[in-house]
Structure 1
Amino acid sequence: MAHLFTPKQVGAFVLSHRIVLAPMTRLRTILPDEIPSPMMADFYGQRASEGGLVLIEGVSISKVARSYIGAASFFHDGQIEGWKAIADAVHAKGGYAFMQLIHGGRQSHVEMTGGVDPVAPSVVPFEGVALTKDGFVPVSPHRALCLEEIPGIIEEFRVAAQRAKDAGFDGVELHGANGYLVDQFIQDGTNTRTDAYGGPIENRVRFLREAVEALISVFGADRVGVRISPSGEWGGISDSDPEATFSHVAQVLDSYRIAYMHVIEPRIKGDDTLHEGHPPVAVKYLRRYFSGPIIAAGGFDGDSAEAVVASGDADLVAFGRYFSSNPDLPYRLKHKLPLTPYVRAAFWGGTERHYSDFPAYDATPKE
């Protein structure tokens, strides 16, 4: 584990180790106003560590941007104190907290959007699901964004970033992955526009560029990260040439000198492993196009994380499932201690049980 436990400069911060808490949608806000709950502060505080990076679950930037009832959002003043408590909990352990900002785009339902149709770059048939009070239901029909509407969404990203900054967060991550709105613009399977936001890849990344620039205007480039999912399958996403598309995306992101690029390996779809034992492929081909820190995510254990960092293809590794049940995951990996199994049934909503009640490793000898 020598490579995982060496310091690394990531944007404005020097991290003491390379193990990152991945952003996970856990549906633990207080309804109906989606107030960040005390158990969320407990969860993140438990998983923070001295000099470690904590990425906070996808936070919707507006009512229309929401996809899942109970998921995190930050677009009204009643949410401020709850988010401050989470940032404070991470800082109390000496960690750094980045808030991931998301717009769900077509992955939504009218019950989540306030009664209006979900939006997307283009109208393309889609059989996804959203989560409402009735559980997982088929998404509502979506409509294509008009050109004049796009600046308003970019402004919502900027305002959400400012809210995150005011609440004490150290930076933000743009969710450009998993078939949500930014990803829908990037990939040609979901973007069939013929205006300045569609067609060649240079146009399809325009929305990404503008969103990144909006976040940078608040935090500066060295406190902004971007998550992408080349060849990812979540959200019915697709591209005719993903390697060419995401090589270009990596070059675009490199030009901004952002804090990091966060890459989900295609062997993972959401919280499921599609291709067990499949070696990392996305970070390997993207490394030559992005000169800054790369966070690899998706299906790693301690040994494979050490290997991908040692290879130079990635600089850090984000863990979701194993971090969900092991609040002291960096300590356990460093000392090769047993890992507590995660509880899949508790991933999508619930109480403190199997969420914030997992204990740290107990080294006390058992009698």
Structure 2
Amino acid sequence: MGSLTLNDCVASDPSRSLLQRLYDRKTVQVQTLRWKIACRVTMSMGVKERTSSLVRMEDKRVFIFGVGYVGLAFARHLHSQAWNISGTCSSEDRRIAVQEAGFQTFLFNSNDGTNLSEERILALQNATHVLVSIPPVAELDGDLVLSTYKEQIYELARNTNLHWIAYLSSTGVYGDHHGEWVDERSEAMPVDKHGIARLNAEKEWLQLGHETGACIQIFRLGGVYGPGRSAIDTLLRSEGKSFKQRKRERRRYTSRIHISDVVQVLMAGIKSPCPGVIYNVVDDDPAPRSEVFSHARDLIHEKLPHLSHLMEQNNLESANVQDWYLTSSPEKRVSNLRIKNELKIKLIHPTYRSGLEAIVNGMSQ
């Protein structure tokens, strides 16, 4: 397995003093040592080292289970770097749209069963990287992908040409920590069936890595937003607010992450394929949803005044209702220090303010 080098991590900056540069170099040495130790400990538990973490240009083949909002953004980024991309969609209309975007896609949903086409199996078997972006089904005893493709996945996982499998989970697995900060070492104690299903799916994928030696990484995402899927877009829609959205009003803290930062974290995971590691993928500011929508309204009035009339008058709960909700809402603030320290991530949008402003600016052009 490849490791970071000092030249990769410490830029030559003549403006910094010799003492500062020596400090930077020592810091990188310590972080690299920690990374190597973590990987070796994981491998000693049953995860074997792959032949190489470096992927030749002609070997960059990714299979994405669930080319949805995140999967499609990831696919587009990889496509710009000459990757070969295959994946699945849950509906025929979606599959056709993604296929027209230039990606080989197959239909796959909970009713798909075990009727796997040879073409689909071949695309999966040839993958060097796999992203699993399909949420678990709470009523199903296990992960949907593993329950359907278990034989093929295990066969692929034992292949030393496979470099990386990423499972996209949710920060919802942490449950209620009474507003305290949590990190990847904190106890996961989900409070609903969806969170329990997520946690069980994580365990299944990690067990696969333990049994086969595959490099499995878990990414616990906060609420993903971006162009076409943000508070800005919700305010400008005319069909009204769903009950599901109203329930979210009760939270004091909501972890979120811009889609561009999700993509850069996944790319960093590919470059640092340390097996068995869990990463929180969230921004720096777990702000309440009401605060986010208030800022979104201000941005629309300021930069999109010609669309202000589309905003709904009663999109946010009243303060009294919101306060009443707080008594029963599971609360936690999710730390992102691991992706910063170990994957060297510098967030493109550290807060919702930066992310929303970028979205509005894109709409006003």
Greater strand fraction, Structure 1 or Structure 2: 1
Q: TM-score, normalised by structure 2?
A: 0.38
Greater helix fraction, Structure 1 or Structure 2: 2
Q: TM-score, normalised by structure 1?
A: 0.38
**Which has the higher Rg, Structure 1 or Structure 2?**
2
